Amino acid sequence: MAEPLDQPTFRLIKSQRGGDKLPENGYMFGVQRRIGDVTHWLCEQRGVCKARVHTKGMVIVKRTNEHFHGPDEQAAGCCEAKAGMKRKARESQDSTYHIVGESLQTASEGTAAKLPKLDSLKQTIQRQRTSVLAAPAQPTLAELALPAVYQQTAKEEQFLLYDSGADDVHRFLIFATQHNLGMLQRSKIRLADAPSRRHLPLHPGVCGAWTLCRR
**Chain positions contacting Zn ion, by CB under 5 A:** 43, 45, 49, 51, 67
Smallest separation, CB 146 to Zn ion (Å): 44
- Nearest distance, CB of residue 89 and Zn ion, angstroms: 30
- 3-class SS of residue 19: coil
Question: Shortest approach of Zn ion to residue 50 CB, angstroms?
Answer: 8
Closest CA to 85 of 104, 71, 103, 105: 103
Please say which residue, 65 or 126, places its beta carbon nearer to Zn ion.
Answer: 65
Give CA–CA dist 198/68, Å, rounded: 63
Q: Which C-beta is closer to Zn ion: that of 43 or that of 53? A: 43
- The residue (of 72 and 102) whose beta carbon lies closer to Zn ion is 72
Return the number of the residue (43 or 99) whose C-beta is nearest Zn ion: 43
CA–CA separation, 32 and 29 (whole Å): 9
Shortest separation between residue 49's beta carbon and Zn ion, angstroms: 3
* Residue whose CB is less far from Zn ion, 67 or 122: 67
Q: How far apart are the first and last CA of the chain?
A: 84
User: Counting beta carbons within 10 angstroms of the beta carbon of residue 41, is it exposed (0 to 12), middle (13 to 18) or buried (19 or more)?
Assistant: buried
CB of 11 to Zn ion, least distance (A): 19
96: nearest Cα among 135, 37, 149, 134: 149
